[in-house]
Amino acid sequence: MTGLYDRHLAVSPEWLALYYRDPLELTHGEGRHVWDADGNRYLDFFGGILTTMTAHALPEVTKAVSEQAGRLIHASTLYLNRPMVELAERIAALSGIPDARVFFTTSGTEANDAALLLATAHRASNQILAMRNSYHGRSFSTVSVTGNRSWSTTSLSPLQTLYVHGGVRTRGPYAELSDERFIRACVADLEDLLGHTRGVAALIAEPVQGVGGFTAPPDGLYAAFREVLARHGILWISDEVQTGWGRTGDHFWGWQAHAASGPPDILTFAKGIGNGMSIGGVVARADVMNCLDANSISTFGGSPVTMAAGLANLSYLLEHDLQGNARRVGGLLIERLRAVGAGSPAVREVRGRGLMIGIELVKPGSDEADPEAAAAVLEAARAGGLLIGKGGGHNTSVLRIAPPLSLTVAEAEEGAEILGEALHAAA
């Protein structure tokens, strides 16, 4: 692998991160497993950053891509596109947003960028509320609403961003409060913040913070926020790039854990819908989506091949009740991981929902994040045949576990066992 790694270093930016001391070249996959260039097989508990949502080499998706590629690969949005219209119809119906319009992009970053454009244009304001510890992408605008220091690469910004409490339940000034008092405190903080501003365009928030370490507020926080926002005419953007499509098990969208408020004004999606193909998008009410008064197109968004993949993948997900599987198998997995964590002084918390689970590591006997331990567990898990991710605040001390939603009970048990051994080995 040294030769390819050297070539990578010679042509890639220094900030383009790679996992592992000896970086891994993946060559193929099947189901919930992948293989490297040396023929080693791994159980995949990260899915290319929550993107291989159903399974590697899913025949239904592979066939749809191959057949569409044999007919037409590209056209742009300047022409009618049947697969794009069909997928947009299905997503609009699933979104819960009334009179919904759908615009396709090629990534979650681009989807959030488009959502910010819509919100600021609709409200004629460049002021945005975002959550502390959040992550929304790597473009100039999305970096400027990212509340996670490790990923906020510049302080220069086209937006005026104000950060709100609430995305992290077990750390920060309100951590010791009950859920009810936590929500009240965060709402009071939001009310106070809005008392010092005028004309805010939108709040953008992940129902479960992804890069931030799979942290989440108590259910109902965003419903309570929505009541405040509505009084001020402020839009709510739900960033569902990682939480969408049933991954949390209990709900199809992350915002539905806060459903008392109804659907968001704008919803963004990406990652899992394409099962590895480059699909992102924005769903919004017609009055919000249609507020732009200049021309716009997308050269690659909504391409026939990616739309065919999305349609096949979404059909498979719904027909096989992968949301239900995420709830059932994810519940088993988190139970096993909590049992593993209880035996390790380095584990501060095992949290999550469905197949979106975080294990936060600290230096034993303290509450201090331990990124070195997270890196060591990542290496040990790989040695044991398991791929996982990491993230969390500015210390990357959380192990991120997000397998394909078709994960079996046996694979969940196997992964939990390997993780237990990895935690012990790293200690």
Cβ neighbours for 152, distance < 8 A, ≥ 6 positions apart: 143, 144, 146
| pLDDT tens digits, 58-67 | 999 999 999 9
Residue 118: CATH number of its domain: 3.40.640.10
| pLDDT tens digits, 232-249 | 999 999 999 999 999 999
The answer to whether residue 254 scores a pLDDT higher than 80 is yes
Helical H runs in 216-352? 221-232, 286-289, 304-319, 322-342
Distance in angstroms (rounded) separating the CA atoms of residues 371 and 368: 10
On whether both 335 and 246 belong to a single domain, the answer is no
The answer to whether residue 43 scores a pLDDT higher than 80 is yes
On whether both 358 and 242 belong to a single domain, the answer is no
Look over the chain and give the mean of its residue pLDDT values, rounded to a whole number: 96
Q: Which of 254, 214, 147 is nearest to 349 (CA)?
A: 214
Number of Cβ within a 10 Å radius of residue 359: 31
Half-sphere exposure for 346 (CA within 13 Å, toward CB):
21
Distance in angstroms (rounded) separating the CA atoms of residues 241 and 269: 4
On whether both 328 and 314 belong to a single domain, the answer is no
On whether both 120 and 237 belong to a single domain, the answer is yes
On whether both 22 and 135 belong to a single domain, the answer is no
Q: Helices H, strands E: what count in the chain?
A: 13, 15
The answer to whether residue 394 scores a pLDDT higher than 70 is no
Distance in angstroms (rounded) separating the CA atoms of residues 44 and 31: 9
| pLDDT tens digits, 337-372 | 999 999 999 999 999 999 999 999 999 999 999 999
On whether both 339 and 416 belong to a single domain, the answer is yes
Please give the full DSSP string across 89-142, using - where no structure is assigned: HHHHHHH--TTEEEEEESSHHHHHHHHHHHHHHHHT--EEEEETT----SSHHH
Domain span holding position 378 = 2-58+321-426
Final residue of a domain: which of 319, 344, 379?
319
Reduced to 3 states (helix: H, G, I; strand: E, B; else coil), residue 26 is strand
On whether both 73 and 51 belong to a single domain, the answer is no
CB 403 within 8 Å of CB 326: no
Q: What is the pTM of this model?
A: 0.95
On whether both 314 and 332 belong to a single domain, the answer is no
Final residue of a domain: which of 319, 341, 376?
319
Number of Cβ within a 10 Å radius of residue 215: 26
On whether both 176 and 315 belong to a single domain, the answer is yes
Final residue of a domain: which of 265, 293, 319?
319
On whether both 270 and 368 belong to a single domain, the answer is no
The answer to whether residue 261 scores a pLDDT higher than 80 is no
Domain count, the chain: 2
| pLDDT tens digits, 107-142 | 999 999 999 999 999 999 999 999 999 999 999 999
Q: Which of 358, 331, 332, 360 is nearest to 345 (CA)?
A: 360
